[in-house]
């Protein structure tokens, strides 16, 4: 298996990726460490965080994490992210140049899409996993079921709406991964610097994955 294939398979096993979007680099770093302490392996630092590439650089030295960059909108940010040690690039949209550059560099490409046409274009353009975003607004699990009919070969990441109550339903849909943001990186916890609280939420989500795996025999 290639590095890209290994990472995709690992995400399928872990299922959870946490997107960290905070107002400062230090908060992003501390929130990421809290997630890792709660058992989350896939950590996405969004490029809306000031100094996001430096946060990625610091986190990429920690063997507990597979670190990626999110909200990547242009090739300049791809370069910065990869240079800092990101192993996957996540975008809210499909940009052909961003995907091409990411793939050429040997990283995992996760572009966003929200219509059948966009999903297929992103897939044909080289996206390894297609992020359905905004997931709830485009129809959620019903949309996933509908689009899987004609396009079962696409790996889907579900982005939006997952919480501790419904995450078993998300897992049952068999996605390539589930992207979680404020359900774990709660603004009140970040504001209070309550990193233990964030670690606790991360652990709770991880427990849901373990429970689902046991119940499904996976």
pLDDT in tens, 106-140: 999 999 999 999 999 999 999 999 999 999 999 99
**Per-residue pLDDT, 43:** 98
pLDDT of residue 88: 98
Give yes or no for a contact between 32 and 43, defined as CB atoms under 8 angstroms apart.
Answer: yes
**Residues of 1-27 as b/e, b for ≥16 C-beta within 10 angstroms?**
eeebeebbeebeebbbbbbbbbeebeb
Query: What does the pLDDT look like over 152-161, one tens digit per residue?
Result: 999 999 999 9
Percentage above 90 pLDDT, the chain: 98
Residue 150, burial from CB neighbour count under 10 angstroms (0-12, 13-18, 19+)? exposed
**To which H or E segment does residue 208 belong?**
helix 195-216
CA distances from 22 to 9, 120, 168, 217 (A): 28, 32, 27, 37
- Please give the share of the chain, as a percent, with pLDDT higher than 70: 100
Average pLDDT over every residue of 25-35: 98
Mean pLDDT of the chain: 97
Element (H, E) at 46: strand 42-46
What secondary structure does DSSP assign to 69-135, as a single string? Answer: EES--SHHHHHHHHHHT-SEEE-SS--HHHHHHHHHTT-EEE-EE-SHHHHHHHHHTT-SSEEETTT
What span, in angstroms and rounded, lies between the C-alpha atoms of 80 and 205?
31
- pLDDT of residue 217 exceeding 90: no
pLDDT band at 218 (very low <50, low <70, confident <90, very high): low
Q: What is the pTM of this model?
A: 0.97
Q: What is the pLDDT of residue 1?
A: 81
Question: What confidence score (pLDDT) does residue 216 get?
Answer: 84
Of 116, 196, 100, the closest CA to residue 149 belongs to 116
Q: What residues contact residue 28 under an 8 Å CB cut-off, 6+ apart?
A: 20, 21, 22, 45, 49, 52, 55
Mean pLDDT calculated for residue range 163-175: 98
């Amino acid at each position: 298996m290639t590095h890209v294939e290994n990472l995709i398979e690992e995400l399928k096993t872990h299922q959870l990726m946490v997107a960290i979007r905070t107002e400062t680099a230090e908060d992003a770093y501390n929130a990421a460490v809290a997630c890792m302490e709660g058992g989350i392996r896939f950590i996405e630092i969004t490029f809306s965080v000031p100094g996001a590439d430096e946060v990625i650089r610091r986190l990429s030295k920690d063997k507990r994490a597979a670190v990626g960059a999110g909200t990547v909108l242009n090739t300049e940010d791809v370069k910065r992210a990869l240079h800092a040690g990101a192993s996957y690039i996540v975008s809210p949209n499909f940009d052909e140049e961003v995907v091409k550059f990411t793939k050429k560099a040997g990283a995992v490409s996760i572009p966003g899409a929200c219509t059948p046409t966009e999903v297929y274009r992103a897939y044909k353009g080289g996206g390894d996993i297609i992020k359905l975003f905004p997931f709830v607004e485009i129809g959620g699990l019903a949309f996933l079921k509908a689009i899987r009919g004609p396009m079962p070969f696409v790996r889907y990441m579900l982005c939006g709406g997952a919480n501790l109550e419904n995450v078993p339903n998300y897992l049952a849909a068999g996605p390539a991964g589930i992207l979680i943001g404020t359900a774990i990186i709660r603004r009140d916890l970040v504001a209070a610097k309550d990193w233990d609280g964030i670690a606790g939420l991360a652990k709770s989500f991880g427990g849901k994955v373990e429970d689902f795996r046991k119940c499904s025999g996976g």
